[in-house]
Structure 1
Amino acid sequence: MDTTGRDIARQVAVISATVFMIVAAVVGAGVLGGTPVQDLQDGALAADATLLAPAGPAFSIWTVVYVLLVAYAVWQALPGQRQRARQRYLGWWVAVTAVLNGLWLLLAQFATLPLTVVGIVLLLIALAVTFRRTVTFPSEGFADSLLVDGATGLHLGWVSLATVANITAWLTAEGDPSWAAAGTAIAVGVLIVVGIIGLSISWRSGWRIAPALAIAWGLSWVAVGRLQGEPYDSTVGGTAVIVAVVVLGVSVVGAVVSRVIDLRNAEA
């Protein structure tokens, strides 16, 4: 398979998108003198702004995602990866997700809350497409599994929950104050939907663990925020714990059973 100009363009695009994402993260997080994320949009994105906002430490997952994406950008730029069919199938989509990731932080820093919702929904859609493509074109080796499937799966799982939190922040900030009376019931319902989505992603991907890990991580910190922080809500906190355990537990069992079946079929 010969190298084409499109292959080189793809490699450059992935590197450029990743650099943009990192720079946007630095700017958007307020490291260079801007407003920290928790203070943006009049505090609508803070850990104590809504019943579905994860506690602050939850966002450390971004460090893992960014490290994996940077490692992928370097790895895919190697000459040996240039002509690989899987890179051709996935590279452009990974670049799109990196750009949209950085764009959300810039929207949060410089635009309006509704535009952050648009940005994160677009990121979620791009991640869903990218992750689906990793499933339809299976990985080849450890690097593929970790830097492509693992990074995209964690990214998708976390953004799935972050989308819910972002939309909730928007509705809380601009919605009818009377909705607050039904806040607990609505939050519980949304958490159940998140659980269903998490299980659906695991099932449809052949029980891959990465998305479930990220969703369970986020739900765990939603629980911490509601049980140990403000606003306190034991019902929402307890529901978050249960949903996290179910999503991760079922996904792990599904992965083990699927692996056992594959081994038995290979030996047959």
Structure 2
Amino acid sequence: MSPRPAQPADRRRQVAVTVAEVFCVVGTLVGLGVIGTRVEESAGGSLAADATLIAPGGPAFSIWTPIYLGLLGYTVWQWLPEQATDTRHRSTGWLAAASMVLNAVWLLVTQQGWVWVSVLVIVALAGTLFVLVDRLHRRPSYGVAESLLVDGTFGLHLGWVCVATFANVFAALAGSGVTLDGGTAAVVVTVVVLAGVAALGVWLNRRFAGRWSVALAIAWGLGWVGWARLADEPASVAVGLAAVVAAVVVLGGSAGERTRLAA
């Protein structure tokens, strides 16, 4: 059966997603330092991997490779004739475009050193991605390819941004003169926040039926926070162990939720 003809609203959505992807690519080039300053070197270094106790180690940011490739693939995918009128794209396409724009805006804002503004942007990004993934969850995918490309990409993005949001807040506080790279108080606060991230991960597991992409991205970020605190500066065994435990809790919660639903 041939796909239903696309409506003008479908074309506007597809064009908006494509323009947003181009904008996202430009923002990425800025963040990588190709046409701007690298993120870790912007905002006075408050976003660097060694700026606060909750900053993930440098290799953690390699997660952006599958996310950015996935966003590019999604942009092409949503232009396929059978996808133009698909109810999943109709309900999430504008949110996908908004997430790409917000991602680029975050990178551009940090270039100006506006770290507290970047906190507002990343909170908006997290909220957008949550609604997007929630809508995807309520409308099951039609196959493995779509699950990996669409659900996988935005699930990874949401999971990573959950961790990055807390790191961003700590970076803003550090940039405002709050000491968060050592000391008993800083360690205690960081451990409590990591427990909160783990709790958030468990809640998202329940909300999204143990969706692996979300859980893996959260655990990835937490795992690299642990590695950075145990093997790099600022060092903190307590924070490092707490981050590793939090990562295990999130992964275990995902596995437990999937087992519970399969029973």
Tell me which interval the TM-score lies in, with the shorter structure as reference length.
over 0.9
Normalising to structure 1: TM-score of the pair?
A: 0.93
1:59 to 54, 61, 68: 61
Residue in 2 aligned with 1:265?
none
- Residue 250 of structure 1 deviates from its aligned partner by 2.0
Q: CA deviation at 1:2?
A: 3.9
For 1:155-184, what per-residue CA distance to the aligned partner results, in whole angstroms no more than 9, with x for missing partners? 000000000000011112214459954100
- 1:44 equivalenced with 2:41 (yes/no): no
Q: C-alpha deviations, 1:39-66, integer Å up to 9, x for none?
A: 1111100000000000000000001100
Q: Which amino acid aligns with 2:145?
A: A
Alignment map for 1:200-215 (pairs within 5 Å): 200-215=203-218
Distance in 1 of aligned mates of 2:240 and 2:61? 18
**Pairing 1:68-87 to 2, within 5 Å after superposition:** 68-87=70-89
Amino acid of the residue matched to residue 79 of structure 2?
A: A
Q: How does 1:211-230 map to 2 (within 5 A)?
A: 211-230=214-233
SS in 2 for 1:133: helix
Which residue of structure 2 lines up, in the alignment, with residue 18 of structure 1? Answer: 21
Structure-2 change in CA distance of 1:176 and 1:82 (3 Å): closer
Contact 1:29 1:105 in 2 (8 A): no
| Equivalent residue letter for 2:24 | M
State the partner residue of 1:134.
Answer: 136
The yes-or-no answer on 1:191 pairing with 2:182 is no
Q: Which letter maps to 2:23?
A: F
Please give the TM-score of this superposition, normalised by the length of structure 2: 0.94
Equivalent residue, structure 1, for 2:241: 238
Question: What does residue 266 of structure 1 align with?
Answer: none
The answer to which of 156-165 and 21-30 deviates more is 21-30
Query: CA offset at residue 111 of structure 1?
Result: 4.4
Q: Which AA in structure 1 matches 2:187?
A: T
Deviation digits for residues 196-231 of structure 1, max 9, x if unmatched?
Answer: 000100111111111110000001100111000000
What's the counterpart of residue 264 of structure 1? Answer: none
Partner of 1:114: 116
Aligned residues: 259
- Root mean square deviation of aligned Cα: 1.5
Write out per-residue CA displacement over residues 22-45 of structure 1, whole angstroms, 9 at most, x where no aligned residue.
11100122112x221111111100
Alpha-carbon offset, residue 19 of structure 1: 1.3
CA distance in 1: counterparts of 2:88 and 2:132, whole angstroms: 12
Give the match for residue 98 of structure 2: 96
Corresponding residue for 1:156?
A: 158
2:185 to 179, 182, 187: 182
Deviating above 4 A after TM superposition, structure 1's stretches of 4 or more consecutive aligned residues are 175-181
Q: C-alpha separation between the residues in 1 aligned to 2:124 and 2:177?
A: 22
Aligned with 2:6: secondary structure? coil
Tell me how far apart the structure 2 counterparts of residues 140 and 40 of structure 1 sit (CA, whole Å).
Answer: 42
Equivalents in 2 of 1:88, 1:250: separation in Å? 31
Structure 1 unaligned spans of 5+:
262-268
Q: Secondary structure at the match of 2:42?
A: helix
Report if the CA contact (8 A) 1:209-1:255 is conserved. no
